[in-house]
Amino acid sequence: MSLPLDGLRVLDISQIMAGPYCTMVLADMGADVTKIEKIKGGDDSRQMGPYIEDESACFMQINRNKRSVALNLKDPAARELFYDMARQADVIIENYRPGVTQSLEVDYESIKQINPGIIYASISGYGQTGPYANKGGFDLVAQGATGLMSMTGEPGRRPLKTGVAVYDIGAGITAVYSILAAYIHRQKTGEGQQVDVAIGECGIPWFTWEAAAYFGEGREPQPTGWRHRVSAPYQALATRDGYFMLGCANQRTWERFCNDVVNKPEWIDDSRFATNSDRGRNVEELEALIEEAFADEDTDTWRQRCDAAGVPTDQHLFAGLVGPALYRARYGPGIRTSDGRQCEDAGLCEQVLVHAAADPSPEPVARRTYRGSAGRYGYRRRASGRTARARGGRLGSLTGRCGSIRAALARFGLRYRLMPRAVTGQSATTRSPRKPTSQSCMLTVGSQCPGTRRSVSPSVSVSRGSSSWPCSSEAPV
């Protein structure tokens, strides 16, 4: 099955969250993403737990569908190798602090000289220009700088960050649609361009209600806690045994809630709750009345009544999100992990966090999870036990496909050597490597190749996914 971005070549020299999230989305849509990592340690997220079989679940979560090349871009030989790849790339993504890529000579102006049509996306804290361009920025800092933390949490309490890295993820998504817009522009004109994404700026358009109140009435947004700024009841509410989310965002839903869920038709005509604005002004009184009624039954009972009445509601726990009712209905039974294991109980967070991707396609996960691993570079789809166990997982568990590495690298016109993994030295990951076997080799440009007296620059190693590319045991080429 073809995917929308099949054939799009992407070089990813970003790390941790914003950039990798962007390239994850591009890869999920079919782009051929090659991730460039540091020689020592690789992407910093490789050092973030929890670890599954000595590999970071955090890293695996947002680096699916990618190949990995470890390069020391300070080394001229490695930089020339990067240039070779850049000449045939469509997109480059980086998230260094402004000025670093210039010092490494891999900035947009440098790459444009060898590939005028390149789309070069730069993600930084405050953008490539302006008074704060050289200032470092992270998701947490952006949440504070834009005022998001001043409206998160409860009134009078310490400012709170959101539960997920919304600005990093938002920057990644912003980069995705900006890259696609630039790609369409290039298809029409042949012109490449630089995409400048500032982590903080990407979230400013999200403040719709807040900006309306500030510019319309001069009211600075205040924290609303578990309630909504405009609608009511649109919030978390307590029941006899827990909490659940109730969303009555319009008058019709509110009336169904009163008549069919709590059997309180008198609330509809109560002047305190007659309109959404009335309910918003009297939300504390309304909340107390609803929770008084909810105290008689448990959460599941109230959810069932709301569902029957067509009133939007749901639970609030992460484990509930990834439960069987949602994922098994849309993606089939269970979720495959990155090494091909099937999670029959999808409600176990420690298993779900490891999954490389829920598989919405009937094709083998190996093809969905690591683009090109099934057929594109010579891998055959077969049902052997070894291949079946590796579907969706690390290609280091597959052997005997040396030619596929050559085919993959031939697309970038690279010169390379293959050598047994036992003598390659440092790979892109610092975690404990698998035991070397007679059939497991790694592509490398580094140390002295066995069988030859010629040494090459210790700057490059290549891995696939979250471990090494496999190949058959043979003399270096």
Q: Which domains does the chain have, with CATH numbers?
A: 9-206 (3.40.50.10540), 234-299 (3.30.1540.10), 317-393 (no CATH), 396-468 (no CATH)
| Contacts by 77-83, CB closer than 8 A, 24 or more apart | 77/445, 77/456, 77/457, 77/459, 78/445, 78/457, 78/459, 78/460, 79/104, 79/105, 79/106, 81/414, 81/445, 81/459, 81/460, 82/11, 82/36, 82/106, 83/111, 83/114
Euclidean distance between CA atoms 191 and 183, whole angstroms? 9
Per the annotation, the verdict on 168 as an active-site residue is yes
pLDDT at 353: 30
pLDDT at 254: 97
Euclidean distance between CA atoms 333 and 324, whole angstroms? 8
pLDDT at 437: 34
Q: Which of 107, 139, 168, 359 is catalytic?
A: 168
Q: How does pLDDT run along the chain (477 residues), one tens digit per residue?
A: 689 999 999 999 999 999 999 999 999 999 999 999 999 889 999 999 888 878 888 888 888 888 989 999 999 999 999 999 999 999 999 999 999 999 999 999 999 999 999 999 999 999 999 999 999 889 999 999 998 998 888 888 888 899 999 999 999 999 999 999 999 999 999 999 999 999 999 999 999 888 898 899 898 888 888 888 878 999 999 999 999 899 998 999 999 999 999 999 999 999 999 999 999 999 999 999 999 999 999 999 999 999 999 999 988 777 666 555 665 565 555 444 445 555 444 333 333 333 333 334 323 222 223 333 323 323 223 333 332 333 333 333 223 344 554 554 555 444 444 443 333 333 333 333 333 333 333 333 322 223 333 333 334 444 433 333 333 222 222
- What distance, in Å, lies between the first and last C-alpha atoms of the chain? 34
pLDDT at 384: 30
Euclidean distance between CA atoms 431 and 142, whole angstroms? 31
Tokens encoding 284: 């504390």
Burial pattern 27-36, b for ≥16 Cβ within 10 A else e, equals: bbbbbbbbbb
148 contacts 170 by C-beta, under 8 angstroms: no
Q: Which of 405, 350, 345 is nearest to 373 (CA)?
A: 405
pLDDT at 58: 87
Q: Quote the longest CA-to-CA distance of the chain.
A: 91
CA dihedral (355, 356, 357, 361) in degrees, to 10, reads: -120
169 φ/ψ sector (left φ>0, alpha ψ -120 to 50, else beta): alpha
Under 8 Å CB-to-CB from 30, ≥6 apart: which residues? 2, 3, 4, 5, 6, 7, 8, 371
Q: Which of 197, 200, 203 is nearest to 94 (CA)?
A: 197
Q: Which of 451, 463, 366, 450 is nearest to 405 (CA)?
A: 463
Q: Token match 């049509």: residue?
A: 117
Q: Rounded to 5 degrees, what are φ and ψ at 369?
A: -85, -40
Euclidean distance between CA atoms 277 and 379, whole angstroms? 61
pTM above 0.85, yes or no: no
Tokens encoding 161: 């960050």
Q: Which of 172, 160, 100 is nearest to 136 (CA)?
A: 100
Strand partners, 69: 36, 462
55-89: pLDDT as tens digits: 888 888 888 888 989 999 999 999 999 999 999 99
